[in-house]
């Protein structure tokens, strides 16, 4: 697998989320992936051109910076996929899902998207209560919302590439009324925290994969916002919401998706070391992000040994 990181923060107003990739690297992600048998290439930071004048367009903030950064990211992800690798994006804020999913789809065609998040991130530019694009990425990507998206500078390259029936949300617990309307209108499959409580995570994952592969098995794009996990475990993030997934539920989601053999790209976003109150809060958040990524690439909690191991004899 190959990963690139996007120290990008303009999709939301809080400083620090651009430091996410480096703290995840510093926690030894590459080394630990190597240890579990993955060939990894770190593409380093993507650098984005400085957009000097970026006045809001309607209520939407930093439109040009977000648009052009995602265009670069889309090209980078396309290159990783065309080289035949699994793509891992370390963010950065969740606006990066626009380029990540767009690039993935441009290279491989139709996708299934599993979006694990406290939030639905499906506001259109016209429904967004904040104007922050990290709360809007899915709206740009869905075919069904195309007619609701105004023309925005540096967004004209984006072609909608995901169908509502190929999208599943897990972990939602902070959904705006307009977003709730959109989810119902499009009939999007949603496992809110209530559904996780009711069904248990194993049943949620079984139903997610049955639903997504009912017609044809497509490559899976996992877009994981660290705020899906409960803030008692992952507090170092910009928009924490109480009542989230446990560490174990999060890891189970990644293990289950790994076992499908269809995982083709992963985003790990919204880790913000400056939002932790203590070093311990930052470390807990970062180590959880690393463990989720290890789960995506074959780590088994039951343990592992080499096939030619021989017990020593006295």
Give the binding site for Mn ion (CB under 5 A).
Answer: 94, 117, 119, 121, 225
- Of the candidates 170, 190, 57, the residue with the CA atom closest to the CA atom of residue 124: 57
Q: Are 114 and 257 in contact (CB under 8 A)?
A: yes
Number of residues that bind ligand NAG (CB under 6 A): 15
| Nearer of residues 49 and 83 to ligand NAG, judged by Cβ | 49
The one among 28, 44, 58, 129 contacting ligand NAG by CB under 6 A: 44
The one among 4, 154, 264, 288 contacting ligand NAG by CB under 6 A: 154
Active site residues: 94, 117, 119, 121, 134, 225, 227, 270
Q: Does 49 interact with ligand NAG (rule: CB under 6 A)?
A: yes
| Nearer of residues 65 and 122 to ligand NAG, judged by Cβ | 65
Residue burial 43-74, b: 16+ Cβ < 10 Å; e: rest: eebbebeebeebeebeebbbbbbbbbbbbbbb
Q: How far apart are CA 309 and CA 209, in angstroms?
A: 35
Q: Are 100 and 265 in contact (CB under 8 A)?
A: yes
Q: Does 306 interact with ligand NAG (rule: CB under 6 A)?
A: yes
- In the block, which residue shows the tokens 């269809």? 262
* Coil/strand/helix, residue 196: helix
Q: Does 153 interact with ligand NAG (rule: CB under 6 A)?
A: yes
Return the range that interacts with ligand NAG (CB under 6 A); candidates 37-45, 118-126, 222-230, 274-282.
37-45
Smallest gap, in angstroms, from Cβ of residue 121 to Mn ion? 4
- Of the candidates 184, 224, 218, the residue with the CA atom closest to the CA atom of residue 112: 218
- In the block, which residue shows the tokens 């928009």? 239
The one among 15, 26, 28, 36 contacting ligand NAG by CB under 6 A: 36
Structure-block tokens of residue 128: 């967004």
The one among 6, 9, 12, 68 contacting ligand NAG by CB under 6 A: 68
| Nearer of residues 112 and 237 to Mn ion, judged by Cβ | 237
- Residues 6 or more apart whose CB falls under 8 angstroms from that of 249 comprise 196, 201
| Nearer of residues 29 and 175 to ligand NAG, judged by Cβ | 29
Binding residues for ligand NAG, rule: CB under 6 A, are 7, 22, 36-37, 44-45, 49, 64, 68, 153-154, 298-299, 304, 306
């Amino acid at each position: 697998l190959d990963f690139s990181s996007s120290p990008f923060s303009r999709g939301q107003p809080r400083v620090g989320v651009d430091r996410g990739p480096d703290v995840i690297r510093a926690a030894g992600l590459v080394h630990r992936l190597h240890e579990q048998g993955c060939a990894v290439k770190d593409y380093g930071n993507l650098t984005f051109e400085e957009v000097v004048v970026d006045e809001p367009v309607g209520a939407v903030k930093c439109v040009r910076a977000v648009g052009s950064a995602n265009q670069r990211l889309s090209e980078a992800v396309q290159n990783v996929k065309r080289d035949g690798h699994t793509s891992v994006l370390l963010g950065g804020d969740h606006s990066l899902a626009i380029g990540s999913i767009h690039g993935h789809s441009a290279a491989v065609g139709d996708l299934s998207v599993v979006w694990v998040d406290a939030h639905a991130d499906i506001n259109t530019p016209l429904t967004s209560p904040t104007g922050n694009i990290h709360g809007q990425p899915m709206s740009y990507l869905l075919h069904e919302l195309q007619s609701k998206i105004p023309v925005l500078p540096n967004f004209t390259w984006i072609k909608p590439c995901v169908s509502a029936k190929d999208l599943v949300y897990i972990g939602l617990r902070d959904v705006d009324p307009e977003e709730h309307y959109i989810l119902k209108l499009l009939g999007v499959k949603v496992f809110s925290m209530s559904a996780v409580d009711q069904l248990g995570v194993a049943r949620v994952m079984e139903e997610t994969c049955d639903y997504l592969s009912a017609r044809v098995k497509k490559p899976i794009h996992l877009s994981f916002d660290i705020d899906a996990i409960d803030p008692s475990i992952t507090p170092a993030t910009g928009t924490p919401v109480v009542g989230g997934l446990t560490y174990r539920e999060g890891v189970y989601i990644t293990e289950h998706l790994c076992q499908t053999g269809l995982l083709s790209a992963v985003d790990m976003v919204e880790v913000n070391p400056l939002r932790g109150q203590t070093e311990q809060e930052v470390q807990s958040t970062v180590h959880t992000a690393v463990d989720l990524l290890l789960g995506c690439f074959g780590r088994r909690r039951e343990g592992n040994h080499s096939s030619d191991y021989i017990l020593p004899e006295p």
